[in-house]
Amino acid sequence: MNRQIDLAGASGARYRYSPLEENRFLPPAGANYVIAEITDDGGANVVYAGETDNLASQTWRADLEKARRKYAAVTVLTRLNVTRAVREAERRDLIDHYHPPLNG
C-alpha cells in the first residue's frame, strides 16, 4: 500500500498520512502517527493517534502491538512534523474528530 490517505481534524484541517513500511529505514525526525484499519474505499478507521520526537526510535511499535491485539488488520500511517507544538495540536485535532478507542 503506497497510497497516501487524507485524514480530517475536528477543526476541518486535512492531514496527509503515508503508510509506514515497518522494515525500511525510518528518519530520525518528529512525526505524528495513526494506527488505523484501511477501509475498502481508501479511507481509514483510526483506532489510535500518537506523536513521537524520533520516528526511527520506533516508540510507536508498542502502540501498534497493543492495537493488533484488538484490531488485527491495523497499519501505521505517518506524517512528518518537526515541531512538537504542531504535532501535539494535530494529534489533538485528530482525536477530537475520530475519538480513537485506544486513546481513552
CB 19 within 8 A of CB 27: no
- Its domain, for residue 88, covers 5-103
Q: What is the count of structural domains for the chain?
A: 1
Q: How far is CA 18 from CA 30, 35, 69, 89, 104, in A?
A: 15, 11, 23, 19, 24
Distances (CA, A) of 97 to 13, 18, 25, 45: 10, 19, 31, 11
pLDDT tens figures, 63-85: 999 999 999 899 999 999 889 99
Mean pLDDT, the chain, integer: 93
Q: 20 with 75: CB under 8 angstroms?
A: yes
36 against 1, higher pLDDT: 36
**Which cell numbers in the block locate residue 66?**
497493543
Q: What is the mean pLDDT of residues 47-62?
A: 94
User: Which CATH number is 29's domain given?
Assistant: 3.40.1440
